[in-house]
Structure 1
Amino acid sequence: MARIGVEGTLTDVKAALMEMGHEVVDLRTEEDVNGCDCCIISGQDKDVMGMADTSTDASVINAHGFEAQDIVQMVNEKLS
């Protein structure tokens, strides 16, 4: 399965992705995204300083306002 980076606050999303057989990595630093096929962010601190630098070519999904199962579905669509 895929390697998915997930922000630490999204524990329900982590659990749902692991149930699906994905390898889940905590996103704590910029280096944590290396090797990830997809990254899930909470969106809570998005663009705080008016800057939007990206450090990965992997798909990034903003989980703000979505349920865990919605996120799992988005990940599966991105990876297919």
Structure 2
Amino acid sequence: MAKVGVEQSLTNIQQALKEKGYDVVELKQESDAQNCDCCVVSGLDSNVMGMQDTYTKAPVIDAEGMSADEVCQAVETRLG
């Protein structure tokens, strides 16, 4: 099953993805995203200082304003 990195604060999304069978990794630092097939972030700290370093080539989903189900659907769509 695909490995999905999820920002620490998004515990409801972590749980929902685990229930769907995904291998969920908590994103505590940039290096955690390196081996993920997809990443889910809250969008709260995106590009804070105008820097946009890329730590992964995997699709990144901004979960801001989305329900856990919507995020799961977005992950499924991206990983198709």
Q: Tell me if both proteins adopt one fold, taking TM over 0.5 as the criterion.
A: yes
State the number of aligned residues.
Answer: 80
2:79 is matched with which residue?
79
Matched, 1:40 2:40: yes
* Structure 2 unmatched runs, 5+: none
Task: Show CA shifts across 1:8-64 (max 9, x none).
Answer: 000010000000000000001111012100000000011111111111100100001
SS in 2 for 1:17: helix
Runs of 4+ in 1 over 3 A off after TM superposition: none
CA RMSD across the alignment? 0.6
The aligned residue for residue 15 of structure 2 is 15
Which residue identity does 1:40 align to in structure 2? V
Normalised by the length of structure 1, the TM-score is: 0.96
**In the alignment, is residue 57 of structure 1 matched against residue 57 of structure 2?**
yes
Distance 2:24 2:61 in 1: 14
Deviation at 1:70, TM superposition (A): 0.2
Unmatched tracts of structure 1, length 5 or more: none
Q: State the TM-score, normalized to the length of structure 2.
A: 0.96
